[in-house]
Amino acid sequence: MHLRFLLTLFMIATFSVGSFGQATPPTVNGIITPNEYGLHINGAHAQASGAGVWYMSWSDDSLYVGITGVHADDASIMYIDVNPLAPINGGANADGSIIGMMLNNTNFDALPFRADRVMLCTSLQRTVSSANGQGGWNAAVSSAGSYAASGTTREFSVPWTALGGFPATFAWFGYVAGGTGMVYAGVPIENASGTIGQEARYERYYLVSSTASYNSTWPFSQNSFVFNRTTDAILTNNLHVHDLTMNSPGRTLTRATNTNTWITSGNLRIDAGTISFGGSYGSATVRGDAVIGQAGSLVLSSNASGDLYVEGDLILNGTFNPHGRMVTFSGSGNSSLVGGTVVQDLTVWKTAGAVVEMANDVRVNGTLALISGNIRLSGDGNLIVGGAGEITGGVDYSYVITAGNGRLVREAVGSTSTYFPVGTDAAFNPVTMINTGVPDIFSVGVKPVLSVPVSNPQRVVNSEWHISEAIPGGSDVTVNLQWNVSEHGASFNPVEPVFTFCYNGSLWASIPAAVTGTNPYTGTASGLTQFDKFIIGNNGATSVAGTGDRPEGFALYQNYPNPFNPSTEIKFSVEVTGRATLELYTMLGQKVATLFDGTAEAGQYHMIRVGASGLASGMYLYKLESGPRTDLKKMLLLK
């Protein structure tokens, strides 16, 4: 029986409820049959309010409303906005009226939205009034459509033409009022009942995001809140709404210091005024977008656990005070963080493949946690992790994509291993650094193509790392660069001697790299003191570019600087393309290292960088051999 009941509800929701522009509209006869308007549960096509129950549905031609539990002579009153704005109560008089109309001794000093129409229905009359474009209302006119009542039940329809045309979306609220101004059976139910008077301010409304057939919003499902009070307020209870709007200059809405939660299933908008999470210990979740306008301010909680979770975009055009709390991007879709900001902790916990787009500088003073989903730096802004901060996670399904000019920046990079989980849209290419020199700020990014030509692109890995330091000089870095087999050039072989090539502005200098791992591979190079563009390749991959001259034959040049510490560069050229070797010896003739062993192309300069790591102070010899030609020079290491 339980399964059959669930299947019945599914069929009702799919075939009769799912189409709010229904093929068979409700019958306006004063009798409401089961699920005549659709699924008769609160939040769907029915909503209980005290002793009354409201029902709603629509076709492409008309809006249908049913109400039970009301007195025959009392007025059903509905305000409707057929072209909602963002913010919902923004705009000007030309967009609708923000104040109410005197009906049955009730009126509003502030509506929750700029209404286009107000409808009144009793057993004696049905009228529609339209906003006059000057902040008030035109005289009421009789409405077409139909009406029927039986006992305490009434039904009526209003053609969309009387409401300004069939809307793609609309906002509304309603209530029942006796002739003395006594209000009851209001929807949403959070709006005040009793004698509301003639200067009421309702804050709740329903937003129907879509009226499309078979893809409509349930009319009572998106209960929304707008702050429109004249004084500041503190909310002590849970706040679970669809849209939450603050658009009141100079006013503040504050969460009480408790564990209550705020959940916004739609959008949070703060266009003017302040929303403060106070000292709340409860989290706040925005399943749509969180938008802070230029005159708006959002202050997160001052206490632990009062964190912010955003599933859509976080748009910071106004004031944002994270107050030491964590901001988490969650959910399944892509998100954007628009505007620069500083946060204590930033977490990405989205479904794998989703991205959080960033174009401005974002600074994380505490922990950047990469759990699932990527951060994509698409503009000039950097993602900066402070010197006391850390990065956790950072794997092939959650890393920082450096698609624009922005980079991942880490401060105080020193002798402790520092991780940069960066990559491209297609590959994960993290970098790890150990700096035994003067601690510095390092910026790291990676591109899927080489910006500086090489002589043999088939002999390199098709990734180009961009690494820079804030203060040139003083660093002595061992770097690990990671890549995947899918990035190999057609002739690249990780088993052959592999070099890390660094571009110094005019040519590629090569540093022997130790390769570990297999898909992914890691190349380790030591003694780095200059930073720019880096690539991975075999012998013969690179040549000097852009120097304006070409060598004419075999030559071994004096290393520079000399004496050196922590690194120096050796330049050479060969007369005939072929195998060449460059080896390092002690003054006693003991070979220390092979600096180059591979094919060297004639007519090009080749640059080798030598690091001091693992070498003792003293004089060394370096020897170049190419065919029958040999040359030998001295260099001095002073530590």
| Largest interatomic CA distance in the chain | 115
Name the phi and psi angles at 606, rounded to 5.
-125, 140
Instruction: Map out the domains of the chain as residue ranges.
Output: 2-208, 241-538, 555-637
Distance CA 531, CA 263 (A): 47
Sheet containing strand 591-600, edge to edge, reads 591-600, 578-586, 618-626, 629-637
- Rounded alpha-carbon distances, angstroms, from residue 154 to 65, 146, 188: 8, 11, 19
Q: What is the pLDDT of residue 2?
A: 43
Closest CA to 92 of 44, 46, 131, 129: 131
pTM above 0.75, yes or no: yes
Q: What is the pLDDT of residue 549?
A: 58
Closest CA to 400 of 466, 441, 444, 442: 444
- Rounded alpha-carbon distances, angstroms, from residue 338 to 69, 166, 287, 318, 473: 49, 34, 17, 11, 35
- Rounded alpha-carbon distances, angstroms, from residue 496 to 350, 485, 513, 536: 40, 15, 11, 12
Distance CA 116, CA 55 (A): 21
Residue 614: which region, alpha, beta or left (left: phi > 0; alpha: psi -120 to 50)?
Answer: left
Q: What is the pLDDT of residue 21?
A: 55
Residue whose token pair is 């563009």 = 533
Distance CA 226, CA 249 (A): 13
Q: What is the pLDDT of residue 601?
A: 81
Closest CA to 96 of 190, 179, 205, 213: 205
- Kindly state the tokens that stand for 623: 């020897």
Q: What is the pLDDT of residue 281?
A: 92
Which residues touch 529 (CB under 8 Å, ≥6 apart)?
437, 473, 475, 476, 477, 566, 567
pLDDT averaged over 10-residue windows placed end to end, the chain, 639 residues = 40 40 78 94 96 95 96 94 97 97 96 98 93 96 93 96 96 94 96 93 97 90 97 95 98 93 97 96 96 97 93 98 95 96 97 96 97 97 97 97 97 97 97 96 96 87 96 93 96 92 81 92 92 90 53 90 89 90 94 85 83 88 95 93
Q: What is the pLDDT of residue 597?
A: 82
Name the phi and psi angles at 443, rounded to 5.
-115, 135
Q: What is the pLDDT of residue 12?
A: 40
Distance CA 464, CA 534 (A): 6
Q: What is the pLDDT of residue 181?
A: 87
- Rounded alpha-carbon distances, angstroms, from residue 414 to 400, 418, 547: 21, 8, 34
CB 455, CB 481: distance < 8 Å: no
* Residue 105: exposure state from Cβ atoms within 10 A (0-12, 13-18, ≥19): middle
DSSP string, 318-381: SEEE-TT-EEEEEESS-EEEES-EEESEEEEEE-TT-EEEE-S-EEESSEEEEEESEEEE-SS-
Q: What is the pLDDT of residue 4?
A: 41
- Kindly state the tokens that stand for 434: 């150990």
Sheet containing strand 390-393, edge to edge, reads 239-241, 262-264, 284-286, 308-310, 326-331, 345-350, 367-372, 390-393
Residue whose token pair is 């601690």 = 439
Where would I find the beta strands (DSSP E) of 498-605? 498-503, 508-516, 521-528, 533-538, 555-556, 567-573, 578-586, 591-600
Helix (H, G, I), strand (E, B) or coil at 486: helix
CB 394, CB 383: distance < 8 Å: no
- The alpha carbon of residue 240 and the mean position of all alpha carbons in its chain are separated, in whole angstroms, by 22
What is 555-637's CATH number, 3.30.70.3270, 2.60.40.2550, 3.40.50.300, 1.10.3720.10? 2.60.40.2550
Which residues touch 14 (CB under 8 Å, ≥6 apart)?
none
